[in-house]
Each structure stands twice: as C-alpha cells, then as structure tokens.
Amino acid sequence: MFFRYFNNFLYEINITAAQISIGNLNRKWTIILIIAAAALVLLLTVFLLSRRRRKGGEGSDGYFGMSIAELNDKLEPFGFACMEEQNVFYSIKNAWQRKHGYCRLFDEAAAPLSMIIDCEPIYFEYNKKYWLIEFWKGQYGMTTGAEVGIYNIDKEDKEIDDFDMVHFKSAQNSEMLPMSFTLFRNKKPIMRRNDRHWWLTGFLLGEFSQPEELSLRVNIAFNGYIQRNAFLQGLAQAGYTQSEYSVTKTIVSIFFDKPHTSQPISRTAFTDRLTQMKNRELCRAYKRITDKYPTMPQKLNALYSEDSRLLDRALQMGKQQDFFGSFERDSGER
C-alpha cells in the first residue's frame, strides 16, 4: 500500500516537472524536480526489491488463464494484447489510448515516468490537415519497445509555425496506414510487427536496452503519391537525407537510429542513468521469477503469485490511464 501511495506522490511531482518543462519557464527548478523524483524512485525500488518475499508460488494460480486468448481478455482493459509467436505485447486498434491523441507534452513527461525513449516526430500537410507521424524506441520501464503513431488535426485555414503545443487527434479508421517495423538491438533483430494501424507498437517484457543500442526500420504504405510526397517533405525538414530512407512507389522505408529532431528537455544524462538503473533492476527481478516458465500466461501468473508490485509495473507498459488522466485534469478536458 505504501508503494502505491508513494508512486502516486512521485507521479504528481514528475508530471509537474514535465509541465514546467514544456513551457521552459524555469529550467533550473525543472531539473531539480526531475532529479529528486528519479533519485527517490531508484532508492525506493532498490529497497523494495531487496525486501521482496517469495511466496513459493508455481505460477499455477491461473489468474491470467493458461492460453494467449485468456491472457488477452485480461489485457484488453490496458489497451494491449500479447502475440504468442514472439511473446510481444502490442496495442490493439480500439485501445482506450486512441481518444487522447498526442502532443509534445507527452514526450516531455515520458522520462520522469521511467520511459527512456528516443522520439522522432515528422510533421507534414496533406488533404487540408496537419499530420504527425512519430517514431519511438527505447526502454519503457520493464520493457524494451518501439512505436509508430499516426495523428492529425484539421488545418482550418490557419498556419502553424510551432507544433510543440498542438494537440493532435489519433487517425480515424479510414486514415490508418499499412505499416511494419523491425526493431534491432546492436544490429540484431529482436522484434517484428506488421499491421494496418494508427498506433503500431511492440514491447518485450523483461528485456533491458539503452536507446542508443536500438535502431528501427519502419515501412509505411501511403494512400497515394501526394500523401507520400508530403511525408517525404516532412522527413527532409526533420533532417533526414536520402541515404536514410528509400522509396518504392507509395511505400517509404525509414531507418531510425540517432534522432534528428530535438529530444525532450526532461531527459538528462544524470536522470537517464538513474532511471535506467531502476529499469535494469526491475527487468532482472522479472527474469529471476519467470525464466523457468515457457509461456507468457505462466510468467504473468508467476508474478501474480510471487510479487504483485512487480506485476503492477509489468502491466504499465506504454502509456497508461493515470498518465493521460493527469493532463486532462490539468487542461480541463473531459
């Protein structure tokens, strides 16, 4: 119970730091808040993991079922499902996250919430709308993962010079695009995803990576040459050269390694290091408990039996409800 209340306390501190950061109102106090919160999270995590008591469970409680179908029924409220072939967690099309869209503020809040990830937003204009297609890769708490998201807003006859404060809507069904990606760690493929989607994702639970170890090969099939060319113009404006992407008819293949765009100011070398120390320890704890179990339902059942706190962290992959809810309360949206 203390762990839950303390996490909530730290969450509010971190959200405050992220909100200050986006306005760049007081960089000094922003950094102080982020460093203090990250240090407290790390110390608490090490303390709790050192005091963890094994209950002797064998992963047979069956709370998550014994099949992928049963597991996915439990995961649906979180907006995710599990793919049995790769033990990859991925976002479903009708995930509740879809209604929240996306904006730069979310990227600023990622690092204080244990997500040490590289971000690459690509902006362009097409069909009387401003579009955002963004790539992410890195460490999402206890998971190594990657994302490609599609968002847009109506242009409404006004020019936007700074997209950092624009809140985009998630792409509608008719605007979804066939996409695929391969995530590499130290040049070796560790995950593949392929779907027609508005938010193509993949997360490997218990895998630890540094963002600079990861690279992403993304393929997007656009609706036609006009949309494709608009996206290519956005790539060029972001700093990509022709050697970093290829074009086959309406399909664009991009290699995302080192980000070209500016990264969130909430990420610093010191706080990244502290957060990654915590993330690495959580991944090690997960593997100590689950390595002997062959399937993902068995692994999560083992966590359910032996360490409910670690299970809570395992299920917080990607962006979860408290994260989006805080921004809604602050902006008065509902």
pLDDT at 48 over 90: no
Q: What is the mean pLDDT of residues 230-251?
A: 97
Residue 231 near residue 217 (C-beta atoms within 8 A): no
Considering the entire predicted model, what is its pTM?
0.82
Q: What is the mean pLDDT of residues 208-223?
A: 98
What are the structural domain ranges in the chain?
Answer: 2-54+64-291+312-331
C-alpha 150/C-alpha 173 separation (Å) is 11
Residue 157 near residue 175 (C-beta atoms within 8 A): no
Extended beta strands in the chain, E state: 80-83, 88-91, 115-126, 129-140, 143-154, 169-170, 177-185, 188-197, 199-205, 214-221, 245-248, 251-256
Q: What is the mean pLDDT of the chain?
A: 84
In the chain, what percentage of residues exceed pLDDT 90? 65
C-alpha 92/C-alpha 79 separation (Å) is 6
Per-residue pLDDT tens over the stretch 54-80? 444 444 457 788 899 999 999 999 999
C-alpha 248/C-alpha 127 separation (Å) is 22
Q: What is the mean pLDDT of residues 122-145?
A: 97
* pLDDT reported for residue 328: 56
Which amino acid is residue 312, in one-letter code?
D
